[in-house]
Chain A
Amino acid sequence: MGEIMNWTDVKSDLEEQGYVASDALAMALYLSITLERPLLLEGAAGVGKTQIAKTLADMRQTNLIRLQCYEGLDASAAIYEWNYQRQLLSIRAAADSQQQDDIEEKIFSEKYLLRRPLLEAIQQEVAPVLLIDEIDRADEEFEAYLLEILSDFQISIPELGTVNAVTKPLVVLTANGARDLSDALRRRCIYSFVDYPDRTTELAILKKRQPELNARLAEQIVGFVQALRKEELEKKPGVAETLDWAAAIAGLGLRDLSDDPATLQASLVCLLKTQSDQATVPTEVAQRLVGKAA
């Protein structure tokens, strides 16, 4: 682990773990570590927002605690809940065996507490990475809860008292733009917009993640995907798709993209994820893109 001294170190450390970050992202990450602020990442799906939290956990050799947000997510699913069934059982058991004196203390002890990700995250010995994924899917009320926790790092449980953070987790929030986030939340965070990588960056990512791929083919693949993103698509392929596709191409034994148009076309299912996008890129278009990529 060790204290990170410089923002360029963050960049090179990430790279060691197989994540190629842009300067802006590395700086945002560095600031969020040194200033102990949550990091808010926005960008299209598949540009590696979630991956950065995973990489960060690897880099700092700590746990990754993940809270996937969804509509209707509430405090009992995100922070804590009492284990009611178990409490009821012990009440019944205590009633039978006539030992009711300390039952109340017993059933409101930590043993009966179900820890959800947020509570879990502030009670770790080693500061974990807390990934709050797709925060824009959660309701506004939940966002307000989150604000409170992110500013004080303490949670009050009426029956138990206030739980203070043992260590401050490193918080990464991601958003896809399903709804606009509140300004209050935005202002509390360090912000970075993660865009589709440019050609060189994407090539570097591909080399890092799939080093066995031959250099020429890798260049073709990246060139093809870059050209494809310029087409009118409903869902542009992200980095994850590029990696999938590269693996598929390698697995299919293609040495050069222009070798086998039919196989190439079939493999496009890795990149084009809607029916109309597939219709937009028929064989001719795919071949034109291959021509551009070469």
Chain B
Amino acid sequence: MRITRFPTRADGVAERMTGFMAHLRLNGINVGVAETETALLALDSINAINPEQTRLALKAICANNTDRYAKFDELFNAYWYARGRQRERKQATKEKPYEKDRWSNRSLLDDAMQAAGIGTIDTPDNSNDGEAEQSGDGKLVASTMVNINKADLREFMKPDDLARAQQVAEQMARAIRDRRSRRRRAAKRGSALDLRRIARKSVATGGEPLHLFKRQKPDRPVHLVALLDVSGSMTVYARVFLAFLKGLIAADQRTDAYLFHTQLVRISDALRDGDTFRAVNRLSMMAQGFGGGTRIGTNLDLFNRQYATNMVNGRSVVMILSDGYDTDPPERIAAALARLKKRGCKIIWLNPLKGWKDYKPVAKGMAAALPHLDVFAAANTLDDLAALEPHLARI
């Protein structure tokens, strides 16, 4: 009984597999019917009794990008060995507070789903004692946490501020985004003639160029990446900046947003979540450490290594919203920015303190960062941000 924890109620492979896909979807891997079908086909052609083979095969089919590839084994264990999930959670409670919340929130979702009678995927019905305890625990943790943080973050998203900040952000994002390519491409309207197409079409008219075709420089929109500092010194601004980020994100599908304090968190997906309740929930999980110390250098470094390779290229504008008070040595910021700059991006630093009278960038971190910045501007009110727009259109 201890070894096999597979629920007895699931009848066939197909049903279990469907359950697994639902489990993956719940954890942010977007698999669909096509994947389920492929997975079942794949199981036919391998030795499905062997769990290792099955894991490798399902991984190749379902995990279709780097993040998911790294996360897959954990999810696989959690589903196929109910043990895996318990162990994950216990470990997490002791060592990693951040991880813990992610897991307990997932169980919250599970519980909600189960209550609604939708997916009863993770309850093995032959071992209700252990599992029941676990879920109860998870729920408790999750709800306390939500109570502490949700209130704050709801405030961050007051409708008025949001509307105004979003408006400013959208204008700004548009100003930064519109860029044209140097190359030309066939188009309906354009400034130059497309000789190749004219020649090709003139074949049909006996070599006489009857139809004229044009070429134009296509749009090559700039891609915006925003990093928001939410450490203690920035708390007063965090609210409006978060709304601002939401505005930036809304303006363009490709925009990316990150929070950092002592750690770096990607929040693009959370901000983009259409379900407001779930978005707030996800943000509150990520905001663990809000209002603490800052490690700008370390976080920028992490950003360089983890995200910049995919997200930042010559057509990116990296926007850092921070006051520059850093607990890392200043060389670290400088090195990280220099490295980021090598990817060919533009770096904008918006500092709320700069709007103050007689502000000098004397904070060591800020001073070290200055030589690497394309724009260094004030950002203590939304009007300041709005005033940036024409300036940004030129970089």
Contacts and interface: CB of A to CB of B under 8 A. Distances in A.
A37 B35 CA distance: 12
Question: DSSP majority for the B interface?
Answer: helix
B127 interface: no
B191 interface: no
Interface stretch (A61-69, A188-196, A249-257): A188-196
A222 to B, nearest CB: 23
A84 B198 CA distance: 11
A84 B64 contact: no
A88 interface: yes
A42 B76 CA distance: 21
Nearest to B256: A180
Contact of B69 (A35, A177, A193): A193
Contacts of A82: 200
Contacts of B31: 187
Contact of B61 (A23, A190, A234): A190
Given A24-B56, A187-B35, A234-B339, A84 B203 contact: yes
B45 A183 contact: no
Contacts, number: 88
B64 A40 contact: yes
A294 interface: no
Instruction: From B31, B38, B52, B339, name the one whose CB has the most chain A CB atoms within 10 angstroms.
Output: B38
Contacts of A107: 203
A177 B342 CA distance: 16
Contacts of A34: 42, 45
A187 B56 contact: no
A84 B46 contact: no
A95 B207 CA distance: 11
Given A31-B45, A35-B38, A178 B313 contact: yes
B30 A183 contact: yes
B143 interface: no
Contacts of A95: 206
Counting contact residues on chain A (CB < 8 A from B), the size range is 35 or more
Nearest to B62: A191
Contacts of A183: 30, 64
B63 A31 contact: no
Interface residues of B, number: 37
Instruction: From B31, B65, B70, B200, name the one whose CB has the most chain A CB atoms within 10 angstroms.
Output: B65
Contacts of A247: none
Contacts of A155: none
Contact of A35 (B41, B66, B200, B342): B41
A24 B61 CA distance: 11
A84 B200 contact: yes
Interface in B302-354: 309-311, 313, 339, 342
17 contacts: A7-B53, A23-B52, A27-B59, A30-B45, A31-B45, A31-B57, A35-B45, A37-B38, A40-B64, A42-B66, A82-B200, A180-B311, A183-B30, A187-B32, A191-B61, A191-B63, A191-B65
Interface of A: 7, 23-24, 27-28, 30-32, 34-35, 37, 40, 42, 72, 82, 84, 87-88, 91-92, 95, 107, 177-181, 183, 186-187, 189-193, 234
Given A23-B52, A30-B45, A186-B64, 14 more contacts: A28-B56, A30-B46, A34-B42, A35-B42, A35-B45, A37-B38, A72-B183, A92-B207, A107-B203, A177-B310, A186-B65, A187-B31, A191-B69, A234-B339
Q: In the A-B complex, list the 10 residue pairs whose CB atoms are closest, starting with the nearest.
A: A27-B56, A28-B60, A186-B64, A193-B69, A177-B310, A191-B64, A34-B45, A190-B60, A84-B200, A177-B309
